[in-house]
Amino acid sequence: MISQVFILSSKGDHLIYKDFRGEARSDVVGTFYEKVTSLSGDQPPVVMKHKDLHFVHVRQGGLYWVATTTSDSSPFTVIEFLNRFAALVKDYCGSLSEKAVHMNFALIYELLDEVLDFGYIQTTSSDVLKNFIQTEAVSLRPFSLFDLSNVGLFGAETQQSKVAPSSAATRPIQSSREQGGKSEIFVDVIERLSVVIGSNGVLMKADVEGEIRVKCYMPNCSELRIGLNEEFSIGKSQLRGYGAAVRVDECSFHQAVRLEEFDSHRILRLSPSQGEQTVMQYQLSDELPSAPPFRLFPTLERDGGGRLLMYLKLRCDLPPKSAAINVSATIPVPKGSVSLSQELSSPDQSAELRPQSRAVVWQIPRFTGGSQLSALFKLEVSGLSSASMLEVGPVCLSFELPKFTATGLQIRFLRLSPVQPGPSQRWVRYVTHSDSYTIRL
Amino acid sequence: MPYLGNEETVKELRRALSNPNIQCDQLRYRNTVLRVIRSMSQGVDVSGLFSEMVKACATVDIVQKKLVYVFLCSYAAVNPELSLLVINTLRKDCQDPNPMVRSLALRNMTNLRLPSLVEYVEQPLTAGLRDRAACVRRVAVLGWAKLHHLQPDSEIDAVVVNELYSLLRDPDPVVMVNCLRALEEILKEEGGVAINKPITHHLLNRLKECDLWGQCEVLRFLQRYRPKSEDELFDILSLLDASLVSPHPPVMAATLSLFLSLCSGVPSVSLAALERVRGPLLAACGSGSREMKFAALCHIQLLLRSIPGLLGAHYKRFFCGYAEPAYIKQRKMQVLVELVNDDNVGMLLDELKGYCTDVNPDTAQTAISAIGRIGRSYSDKCLEILTGLLGLKQDHITSAVVQTMRDLIWVCPQCSDTVCSSLEGCEETLQDSQGRQALLWLLGVYGERISSAPYTLEGFIDEVKSEISPGVKMELLTAAVRLFLCRPAETQDMLGRLLHYCIEEEADMCVRDQALLYYRLLLCGLDQTRRVLQARRSDPSLGVFIGRPAEPVGQWARSFNTLEPLKDGAVETEPASRGSPEHVTFDPKPRSDLPETLSCSYSETGRSEDGDGDGGDGAQPPDSRSAVMASSTAAPLSLSLSPPLSPEEFERLWLQRQALQDEPGCEGAREEEDCVWVEECIECPTVPHCSPQSLQAAMQLVNIQALAFTPPQALPWRVYLYTHARRGTARRSLVLGELLYTGAACRLGDGRAEDEQTEATAAGRAEGEDGERRGIKVTLRLQPRDETCLRGFLSVLTTVLNTLTEHSD
């Protein structure tokens, strides 16, 4: 049972506040923000208590989504609800930001009204909600000349572009009805990679958490069939086909997915509702089908003058056609580090010393598969001793691998039935993020 | 946020709302209403616009209607009279042909929260319960709950309650769930909605139709039901099995909660259910939402309290991600400590070592104390890391390390040498009072082993005037007196100065009183002081291993799936040891006659013997501390625990064997010739599942002291024990033993095995034949060599283990 729901910006502005049971006063919002700001660090615990009121919050899109509740309610339910509510807001407003919430507050109040009654969750299905929600979303996207890039002379669409613009999936779902938005469907395969590589270069841990997300902008799509790799196998024992097997340890599906053809042909069938939903989640532990994407060869030295020399060679073991983007390596350095001088192999890279987080951050905007980059960092450290070397490392990498899945999962085909009248577009996107990629020194 | 142009805004909005030109234009009217709501949610007080907004309510534009309702519901309590004006519009809307309008009107009518309006609301609500559209019925059902909430003292209308019960059969699942919720609120006084057998079965059958929120709610209500028979219970459980492994964490948690409450009388089923949710819980731990991750971690900690070995193989899942928030990292480390075993300890420590230098001091501190906790079972490796960290000379790290060492030494006195040698020079880096208190405690208790202790203490005493923390001063007093007891010559002068300062000049009452107490105590003589201050330096209740006993599921089942486990420090594995360890684990009735280590077993042994008196041994004087085993096959064999054997001594003697194995050619030292090593297999597979307490108690009954255990269910499971065996008037021989259960069939050592115990070897052979039965491998060391004694001891041990097996069956 949820007593109140409110949304706060990171600066504490009240964006949305709704009281469902009239049990607590509205100054709880202030109380919550005081509690958040009084804590050191920007990561307050999920559950906070004030007298007999419990605040449960999640952070999404830089905002606090808070519910107040009693202590016997289920944390899983409340957290899942807040996440789901944030996802609904994202579906309806197109994106999730302070501005989007601010512009669409009427829509959000309307959503809240339908989703919760007297503090009880009624429904969060966008199929049901679309019958009730009347307010039009105010789209944030400013007019931009880039949007016109694939519009030819006199506004005629000259070519079917092969790549969807990145903003394509950040529009409100409802615009497809009245504003004549395109009838599109996006299927995203998103994987999160967490890897620990030991100081001897041995792979200590490798986990992949993946999901297939469908974002549907089609008002009347009765069935969608998603075909996965035929060799896709679940669990250790099962092996299919003769090709390179794509294996995951565990796999779970959205309850709306029908699996009649899954065992024989690896086809998922579902009737997508508008908005975004996670169709399938899977995990793979301890075994990657290919080498981990990055290897690091570090050399650390202490020279006589209290300087720390770090020579880092970073190799990208992706196939040569792929590339990693937004690679950033964080190298923790000793406490007394004062200044940094650097030698990087190309001008688009950058590195800086961040005394606040006691780390050197090396940024590489684009890193092609099969290549190798090196960097030499010289750090001025006051009071450098042999023990300070303990503080160097482990190195953490964060990156994004577009058009790449760590498990090798691919989508063979995407079929809609009945065949959509008019132009409809189907997009499949793959991306692997680094959840935590740690290399010990 | 109060906002400057407050008055102006309201005035301007009022003008706009009452402007007939705007009222004519639907779009402009709606936009004006929108601006009112916007100001409202920004915190501007727009209650003055109430009458204008009431007018704006009468419109065909649904969006505008909704907006106005948001406004009215917020301000109705301030303007009860004006609210009466709305009721007519609302009642009219309740007749609207559009079900959406009907449900909207009904919902907001009940949301106004005005007791004066109740009489107008009841009729539309009654009609709403029978509406054609499910969305109206949903609202109407909860509407009754809202009415009751508004007037909790009013009489409960039996007709409504009956109607709500009958609506449990409504075709719409949300209406059904709402009925449960409404009845629960209305009938709160009578204990909530009644869940009898037909309702239970109805709910279970319709569970599939509900969405995940409905499922969670229904599962929660079902906890109230008690099945009438075992068959019914198992029918229900098998129906629920699919939702136990649901990919949605809320459903999984609610189902497990229901399982635990239904099976509170059948612990084996609860444990099986816990095993079953391992997969989904681990998946939730890897969830993309870090809040969900956190909730799952907190609940995993609960599960581990009952099955410590549940996730041993999955420890890598709990390695911290680099970008994770501190609160998740801390929980993960707490879980990691629980998962440590022989195989993964190296990996785990490597990982934890990396966190010790984290930028966030809290994370670093948690990592260091996690290493300390692991140090209770693997002291050498951990102490090496901890002493290495001291080299960093950073205040927060040094402080955490010294505190951790203090806590560790209290439990594992055998670490004292390493700790004492590493403390030198720490006082320079220590800044905070907690760390200095820990250092002072160590200096006081182990002063005679730390050569520089008096000088360090002198530094503290010289600066006592500028010391702020009373805690440090009190610890300093105790340390100084303790050090005086063992090194009087070096300490006498400074103790005098300290006492003088504290008694004469100190403002804090507690410090002064403590100084006075010590002063008077010293007047009574050194022996008295020694008795008070040098009681013990280690926690006598713990063995070398952590061996946190497995709690029954019932201990935490009630807090499962509530916010309780998520609160800060809710699953504190240990009492937060902020003060000195004695203060934390202080025994209310300290027995000063207890010798230092492991001595508490004496009194317990004495007690259990008294209880055992009916076996005919009662005639024996209790102080002989020995029991003659009736089951002994050979000449009367007596076991005794005195003289006690310290864990350090045990370790030394035990490790001689490894030295022996390393050099097979050499026959070992001269003293080795007099001892014998034996390996045996005893078949009693359930013993590793019984709690350390019962094992300890059973062993003590026959005067065998278990020195250390691994937690139950952990693999490999080990127990180390010792006793002194004496046959008749022969020489006493010291028996050291290890019980090992690896889960695999046990294999006897090469040639070293002496097949004397016929039963045991028979068991071993039988197990070799069918490969199914599993035994416990017993390794014994007897000094001096005495075959009969050995046989006797083995039979005693077998009896004990078999008895335990029967009990745990």
Q: Who wins on pLDDT, A236 or B379? A: B379
State phi, psi for B552 to the nearest 5 degrees. -65, 150
Distance (Å, rounded) from C-alpha B304 to C-alpha B565?
13
Distance (Å, rounded) from C-alpha A257 to C-alpha A249?
19
* Residue B89: band (very low, low, confident or very high) from pLDDT cuts 50, 70, 90: confident
Domain-terminating residue out of A67, A97, A130: A130
CATH number for the domain spanning A320: value is 2.60.40.1170
pLDDT for the residue A158? 41
Give the DSSP per-residue string, B616-631.
TGGGS-GGG-EEE-TT
SS3 state of residue A279: strand
pLDDT for the residue B496? 92
Is A385 close to B391, i.e. CB distance below 8 A? yes
A118: nearest CB among B145, B247, B291: B145
Q: Which of A193-207, B236-250, B385-399, B769-783 has the weakest average pLDDT? A: B769-783
Q: Rounded mean pLDDT of B639-651?
A: 73
* Residue B573: band (very low, low, confident or very high) from pLDDT cuts 50, 70, 90: very low
Q: Who wins on pLDDT, B707 or B331? A: B331
Q: A87 and A192 share a domain?
A: no
Is A79 close to B295, i.e. CB distance below 8 A? yes
Laid out side by side, the sheet with A223-228 consists of A267-270, A223-228, A411-417
Is A398 close to B100, i.e. CB distance below 8 A? no
Q: Which residues contact B180 (CB under 8 A, 6 or more apart)?
A: B168, B193, B217, B218, B221
Please identify which residue in the block is written with the tokens 């650390």: A300
pLDDT tens digits, one per residue of B15-71:
888 888 888 888 888 888 888 888 887 777 888 888 888 888 888 888 888 888 888
Q: Is residue A88 assigned to a domain?
A: yes
pLDDT for the residue A49? 86
Q: A274 and A301 share a domain?
A: no
Q: Rounded mean pLDDT of B732-739?
A: 81
Percent of chain B past pLDDT 70, that is, above it, reads 79
* Residue A77: band (very low, low, confident or very high) from pLDDT cuts 50, 70, 90: very high
CA dihedral B348, B353, B357, B359 (to 10 degrees): 0
Q: Which of A360-369, B257-266, B572-581, B706-715 has the weakest average pLDDT? A: B572-581
Percent of chain A past pLDDT 90, that is, above it, reads 28
pLDDT for the residue A76? 94
Closest approach of A423 to chain B, Cα-based (Å): 32
Give the H or E element holding residue B85.
helix B80-93
* Residue A122: band (very low, low, confident or very high) from pLDDT cuts 50, 70, 90: very high
Residues of B in contact with A16 (CB under 8 A): 41
Is B249 close to A117, i.e. CB distance below 8 A? no
* Residue B730: band (very low, low, confident or very high) from pLDDT cuts 50, 70, 90: low
* C-beta separation of B491 from B457 below 8 A: yes
Residues of A in contact with B325 (CB under 8 A): 43
Q: Is residue A168 assigned to a domain?
A: no
* C-beta separation of B720 from B655 below 8 A: no
Q: Which of A36-45, B41-50, B482-491 has the weakest average pLDDT? A: A36-45
Give bridge partners of residue A61 from the DSSP assignment: none
ipTM of the complex: 0.88
Is A81 close to B253, i.e. CB distance below 8 A? no
pLDDT tens digits, one per residue of A364-398:
999 999 999 999 999 888 877 777 787 887 899 99
Identity of the highest mean pLDDT range in B416-430, B693-707, B758-772 = B416-430
Identity of the highest mean pLDDT range in A28-32, A171-175, A217-221 = A28-32
Is B389 close to A77, i.e. CB distance below 8 A? no
Q: Does B5 contact chain A (CB < 8 Å)?
A: no
- Average pLDDT of chain A? 83
| Residue A318: other Cβ atoms inside 10 A | 21
pLDDT for the residue B584? 41
pLDDT for the residue A420? 65
Q: A398 and A272 share a domain?
A: no
* C-beta separation of A384 from A308 below 8 A: yes
State phi, psi for A425 to the nearest 5 degrees. -125, 140
Q: Rounded mean pLDDT of A256-285?
A: 88
Q: Rounded mean pLDDT of B366-379?
A: 90
Is A438 close to B248, i.e. CB distance below 8 A? no
Q: A275 and A343 share a domain?
A: no
Q: Rounded mean pLDDT of B165-173?
A: 92
Q: A398 and A409 share a domain?
A: no
Q: Is residue A349 assigned to a domain?
A: yes
Q: Is residue A94 assigned to a domain?
A: yes
Q: A281 and A425 share a domain?
A: yes
Task: State how many domains chain A has.
Answer: 3
pLDDT for the residue B50? 86
Q: Which residues contact B597 (CB under 8 A, 6 or more apart)?
A: B413, B538, B540, B644, B646, B647
Q: Which of A115-129, A374-388, B162-176, B467-481 has the weakest average pLDDT? A: A374-388
Would you say residue A123 has pLDDT above 50? Answer: yes
The single-letter code of the amino acid at B272 is A
Residues of B in contact with A41 (CB under 8 A): 326, 360, 362
Would you say residue B515 has pLDDT above 90? Answer: yes
Distance (Å, rounded) from C-alpha B495 to C-alpha B131?
87
Q: Output Rg (C-alpha) for chain A, integer angstroms.
A: 25
Q: Who wins on pLDDT, A168 or B19? A: B19
Q: Which domains does chain B have, with CATH numbers?
A: 220-316+328-339+552-569 (no CATH), 637-654+674-746+774-807 (3.30.310.10)
Would you say residue A174 has pLDDT above 70? Answer: no
How many helices and strands (H and E) does chain B possess? 37, 7
Which residues of chain B from 67 to 86 reach within 8 Å of chain A, CB to CB? 67, 70, 74
Nearest Cα neighbor of A92 from A113, A111, A66, A115 is A111
Domain-terminating residue out of A85, A112, A130: A130
Q: Does B146 contact chain A (CB < 8 Å)?
A: yes
Q: Rounded mean pLDDT of B256-282?
A: 90
What does the angle CA B14 – CA B17 – CA B21 come to, to the nearest 5 degrees? Answer: 130
Q: Residue B555, Cα to own-chain centre: how many angstroms?
A: 11
Would you say residue B763 has pLDDT above 50? Answer: no
* C-beta separation of A360 from A352 below 8 A: yes
CATH number for the domain spanning A92: value is 3.30.450.60
Q: A265 and A390 share a domain?
A: no
pLDDT for the residue B5? 59
Which residues of chain B from 99 to 118 reach within 8 Å of chain A, CB to CB? 100, 107, 113
pLDDT tens digits, one per residue of A404-414:
998 889 899 88
Would you say residue B659 has pLDDT above 70? Answer: no
Q: Does B213 contact chain A (CB < 8 Å)?
A: yes
Q: Is residue A155 assigned to a domain?
A: no
Residue A285 zone, left/alpha/beta (φ > 0; ψ -120 to 50; rest): beta
Q: Is residue A220 assigned to a domain?
A: yes
pLDDT for the residue B293? 92
Which residues of chain B from 385 to 414 reach within 8 Å of chain A, CB to CB? 388-389, 391-394
Give bridge partners of residue B727 from the DSSP assignment: B637
Is B568 close to A74, i.e. CB distance below 8 A? no
- The residue of chain A nearest to residue B395, with distances taken between CA atoms, is A335
Percent of chain A past pLDDT 70, that is, above it, reads 87
Nearest Cα neighbor of B605 from B570, B636, B566, B642 is B642
pLDDT for the residue B760? 41
Q: Rounded mean pLDDT of A201-212?
A: 90
Q: Output Rg (C-alpha) for chain B, integer angstroms.
A: 36
pLDDT for the residue A364? 93
B142: nearest CB among A16, A120, A209: A120
Give the H or E element holding residue B294.
helix B290-306
Strands A424-439 and A183-197: parallel
Would you say residue B743 has pLDDT above 80? Answer: no
Q: A321 and A378 share a domain?
A: yes
- The residue of chain B nearest to residue A279, with distances taken between CA atoms, is B247
Look up residue A142 and give its two tokens. 């400013």
* Residue B636: band (very low, low, confident or very high) from pLDDT cuts 50, 70, 90: low
| Residue A411: other Cβ atoms inside 10 A | 18
- The residue of chain A nearest to residue B330, with distances taken between CA atoms, is A45
Closest approach of A142 to chain B, Cα-based (Å): 21
- The residue of chain A nearest to residue B353, with distances taken between CA atoms, is A390
Distance (Å, rounded) from C-alpha B460 to C-alpha B495?
11
Q: A370 and A418 share a domain?
A: no
| Residue B762: other Cβ atoms inside 10 A | 13
Which residues of chain B from 165 to 194 reach within 8 Å of chain A, CB to CB? 174, 177-178, 181
* Residue A430: band (very low, low, confident or very high) from pLDDT cuts 50, 70, 90: very high
pLDDT tens digits, one per residue of B786-805:
777 777 788 878 877 777 76
Residues in chain B: 809
Q: A322 and A375 share a domain?
A: yes
pLDDT for the residue B77? 81
Q: Which of A60-74, A212-226, B444-458, B531-545 has the weakest average pLDDT? A: B531-545
pLDDT tens digits, one per residue of B207-222:
999 999 999 999 999 9
Q: Which domain holds residue A201?
A: 184-290+404-439
* C-beta separation of B242 from B255 below 8 A: no
Is B563 close to A54, i.e. CB distance below 8 A? yes
Would you say residue B715 has pLDDT above 90? Answer: no
Mutate to test the interface with B, among A76, A135, A190, A273 (most CBs of B within 10 A): A76
Q: A282 and A427 share a domain?
A: yes
* Residue B113: band (very low, low, confident or very high) from pLDDT cuts 50, 70, 90: confident
Distance (Å, rounded) from C-alpha A93 to C-alpha A91?
6
Would you say residue B298 has pLDDT above 60? Answer: yes
Would you say residue B395 has pLDDT above 90? Answer: no
Distance (Å, rounded) from C-alpha B697 to C-alpha B682?
19
Q: Which of A223-232, A245-254, B560-569, B770-779 has the weakest average pLDDT? A: B770-779
Is A71 close to B181, i.e. CB distance below 8 A? no
What does the angle CA A7 – CA A11 – CA A16 come to, to the nearest 5 degrees? Answer: 20
* C-beta separation of B207 from B236 below 8 A: no
Q: A217 and A206 share a domain?
A: yes
| Residue A43: other Cβ atoms inside 10 A | 17
* Residue A302: band (very low, low, confident or very high) from pLDDT cuts 50, 70, 90: confident
| Residue A71: other Cβ atoms inside 10 A | 15
Identity of the highest mean pLDDT range in A170-174, B421-425, B769-773 = B421-425
Distance (Å, rounded) from C-alpha B384 to C-alpha B368?
12
Q: Which of A68-72, B502-506, B515-519, B605-609 has the weakest average pLDDT? A: B605-609
* Residue B295: band (very low, low, confident or very high) from pLDDT cuts 50, 70, 90: very high
Is B100 close to A358, i.e. CB distance below 8 A? no
| CA distances to A114, B188, B627, B639 from B728, in Å | 86, 72, 13, 11
In B151-289, where does DSSP find H-type helix?
158-166, 173-186, 197-206, 212-222, 230-244, 249-262, 267-285
Q: Rounded mean pLDDT of A158-166?
A: 48
pLDDT for the residue B662? 55
Laid out side by side, the sheet with A294-303 consists of A294-303, A307-316, A372-381, A337-344
